[in-house]
Amino acid sequence: MEDVLRWVLDGLAGLHSRELSVFVISMLPVLELRGGLLASVWLGLPLRVALPVCVGGCFLPVPFILLFINRIFLFLRITGIGKELVIRLEMRALQKSERIQQYEFWGLLIFVGVPLPGTGAWTGALIAALLGIRARKALPAIFFGVLLSAAMMAGLSYGVLGNLFS
């Protein structure tokens, strides 16, 4: 992830502010909040600035994923554009969905909140949409999961890693 993050940071170097770079990184799938907080440390942003920027960036795509991903996937399947990609994404998401399906709100919160590879707001929102979990239940679960992940990653990024980079 470090190499991908450095590549994205290099691409965003022309942006006007470090905060905007971190916000954009936090919005990206795979990198999300974890990448945003690591980038914040590398860019020297204080935690009090980095945390709301990363949480906001990470959560911003979630409502759109919940509301539109099924329609987008249907369109891609019907037109044949990216049909294999859609099938792969759906299969990968549904493989991770057992606990979420069983516990819904708490399963989704924990899935998003534990900062491991393959988990996060994007995947959680995708799984919630594919399982038909209503947005009014999924949105708070994902939001609190993002906050839980932010707390853990802030401790790692600004504690352990922050000491390595300072």
pLDDT tens track for 3-28: 777 777 777 766 678 899 899 999 99
Let me know whether 35 and 75 are in one domain.
no
Q: Residue 161: give the domain boundaries.
A: 2-58+149-165
- How many structural domains comprise the chain? 2
User: Do both 133 and 80 map to the same domain?
Assistant: yes
DSSP codes, the chain? -HHHHHHHHHHTTTSS-HHHHHHHHHHSTTTHHHHHHHHHHHHT--HHHHHHHHHHHHHTHHHHHHHHHHHHHHHHHHH-TTHHHHHHHHHHHHHT-HHHHHHTHHHHHHHHHS--TT-SHHHHHHHHHHHT--HHHHHHHHHHHHHHHHHHHHIIIIIIIHHHH-
pLDDT digits (tens, 9 = 90+) for 82-95: 888 888 888 888 88
Answer yes or no: do 103 and 141 share one domain: yes
Domain check: are 65 and 144 in the same one? yes
